[in-house]
Amino acid sequence: MAVVTGASGGIGAAIAVELARLGADVLVGYLRAGPGAPGPDAVLAGVRACGRRGVALEADLRLAASAALLFDAAEQELGPVSLLVNNATGWSLQDTFSGADADRFGRPLVAVGAESFDAHVAVDARGGALLIAELARRLPRDGAGGRIVSISSGGPGGFPSEVSYGAAKAALEHLTMSAAAELAPLGVTANVVLPPITDTGWVTDAVRHAAAAAGQRVAEPAEVARVVGWLCTDAARLVTGNRIRLQ
């Protein structure tokens, strides 16, 4: 049984449906559906179309109690959780040290400050840490195992124009690598997936042209979801402690 956060649209929604296609019941965690997102009801319909059970729960990962609430709801409605996908992302406004008002695609920028930094770290880093801790606390000690997949972005070179977002995702990567080492005796694998530019509704022609000029491709959410799904199967039981960058 899987818990997927940030699953009301985009990559998270695609992951929820892919895991259902592979045979998992799914808790769809979300805060709110963004513009153009299918929303939790549509995602649940996709899960159920795969012949699996699903439940949606709105939870604000900035609140420390949310991790336990998600797992409690999952266990009550669907059964013990063995799969966790950390996909939720915090504040959606980009921030910068540069003083610029907009990035190269015209999206607004704000100066790095306590509000922008704390909002990202609270969801991507602390929220992810508490969810991993909740899974570890509840897993059986018989070595039956589990899967953790965290969705990241950016990389070791930083994330210009999305400074706090990149920093929070870097923290999530470290948390996931720690989980890979510490939870291995329980049969748990933990990996990070870094998607390429993915069309979740924000990709404009300017973004596509810039990606093409850099030799990059724009992925669809379902393409990312297939990689995450594979990491959650028995075929990937020897794959752990990896940062998998999709191109």
Our CA angle for 23, 35, 11, nearest 5°, is: 30
DSSP 33: P
User: Is 165 annotated in the active site?
Assistant: yes
Report d(CA 231, CA 224) in Å as an integer: 11
**Among the listed residues 154, 242, 243, the one whose alpha carbon sits nearest the alpha carbon of residue 197:** 154
In this structure, are residues 73 and 81 in contact, taking their beta carbons and an 8 Å threshold? Answer: no
Name beta bridge partners: 135: none
Q: Percentage helix, strand, coil, to 5, in the chain?
A: 45, 15, 40
Choosing from 13, 165, 175, 180, the catalytic residue is: 165
The residues assigned a catalytic role are 165
